Amino acid sequence: MSENKNLLAWVMLIGLALIWGSSFILIKRGLDVYGPGEVGALRIASASIFLLPFAIRGLKDIKKHHWILLVCVGLFGSLLPAFLFAKAQTELPSSVAGILNALTPLFTMLLGVLFFSQKIGLKTVIGLLTGFIGTVFLIVASSGGSMSDLNYYGLYVVLATIFYGANLNLIKYKIPDLRARTITSISLLIVGPAAVSYLLFATDFINTSFTVDGAWLSLAAVVTLGVLGTAIALIIFNQLVKITSPIFTSSVTYIIPIIAVGWGLIDGEQLVLGHYFGMVLIIFGIYLSRTRTPK
């Protein structure tokens, strides 16, 4: 990778961390009024509508074999995680959700080894195990330290990071011939109608928006999340995958927990020692398992 391209990769990485590190507090503000299903659907619907002109323009580049791959990208990279994160944050602090999101590089590596012929060494195995131990600490700490009353809502975030890991590998190894903007806009075009239909016909979204105090602020938070945190950020993200590697791109989650914890503390969330210890273990696990740099 040239020096200019390397610098661009790092600028994009830090920008993504700032955007996505702020996503968890926006989800929390959306949940002040709306249910998790409404937050997830509104996030995807707003992103899909925002990118509709780009999707229409990009349809000419889509071949028959691309469609099933783009369906998978839409599901695993956008739709399912949007619902899972919103559901998780009904019982988890936004800062903890941001920390757990740091598992993405570990699952990217693991799925790459299992399904995309990536090599794995002892250092990586130790990194994966360290990350999982950190996850256990976070879940236990979020349950007040009680093993008998575990907060299983953290597992929704874990499942979302597995989906993100699958999505990263799909984009890098299965769709190298499409531009990042095309992948993002058309994958959202595919899942957008499902999100809009759910929002309009399976929830009380319209009535809530016009009758509940503070609804417009929550609406603005989720639309911002959809446009900036999903639509624009995914274009940057998918482009970063293409010019670097899935492992480098997913290491954006080194920085995301710091931003998420900062927002959480500003918003009055309380973290205990177990949360910080779990975060350190997860980030150290990512460091151990990360075997590539931009190239």
User: SS3 sequence, 11-22?
Assistant: HHHHHHHHHHHC
Residue 294 within a domain: no
Residue 232 within a domain: yes
Residue 56 within a domain: yes
Q: What one-character DSSP code corresponds to residue 79? A: I
Instruction: Name the band, by pLDDT with cuts 50, 70 and 90, for residue 98.
Output: confident
Q: How many Cα atoms within 13 Å fall on the side-chain side of residue 4? A: 0
Q: What one-character DSSP code corresponds to residue 212? A: S
CB atoms within 10 A of CB 214: 10
- Give 162-189 pLDDT, tens digit per residue: 999 999 889 888 998 898 889 999 999 9
Give the pLDDT of residue 79: 96
How far apart are the C-alpha atoms of 167 and 197, rounded to whole Å? Answer: 24
Which amino acid belongs to residue 173?
Answer: Y
Give the pLDDT of residue 149: 53
- Give 112-130 pLDDT, tens digit per residue: 888 877 777 787 778 778 8
Direct distance between the N- and C-terminal alpha carbons of the chain, in angstroms, rounded to an integer: 4
Residue 86 within a domain: yes
pTM for this predicted structure: 0.84
- Give 189-211 pLDDT, tens digit per residue: 999 999 999 999 999 999 999 99
Question: For 32-44, what is the mean pLDDT?
Answer: 97
Give the pLDDT of residue 136: 76
Show the domain range for 122: 3-289
How far apart are the C-alpha atoms of 158 and 88, rounded to whole Å? Answer: 10
Higher pLDDT pick, 219 / 288? 219
Question: For 95-107, what is the mean pLDDT?
Answer: 84
Q: Indicate the number of domains in the chain.
A: 1
Higher pLDDT pick, 2 / 63? 63
- Percentage above 70 pLDDT, the chain: 92
Give the pLDDT of residue 245: 75
How far apart are the C-alpha atoms of 92 and 87, rounded to whole Å? Answer: 9
Res. 141: pLDDT tops 80:
no
Q: What are phi and psi of 66, to 5 degrees?
A: -75, -30
Which amino acid belongs to residue 160?
Answer: A
Instruction: Name the band, by pLDDT with cuts 50, 70 and 90, for residue 52.
Output: very high
> 3-state SS string over 219-253?
HHHHHHHHHHHHHHHHHHHHHHHHHCCHHHHHHHH
Give the pLDDT of residue 101: 86
How far apart are the C-alpha atoms of 60 and 77, rounded to whole Å? Answer: 22
How far apart are the C-alpha atoms of 52 and 55, rounded to whole Å? Answer: 5
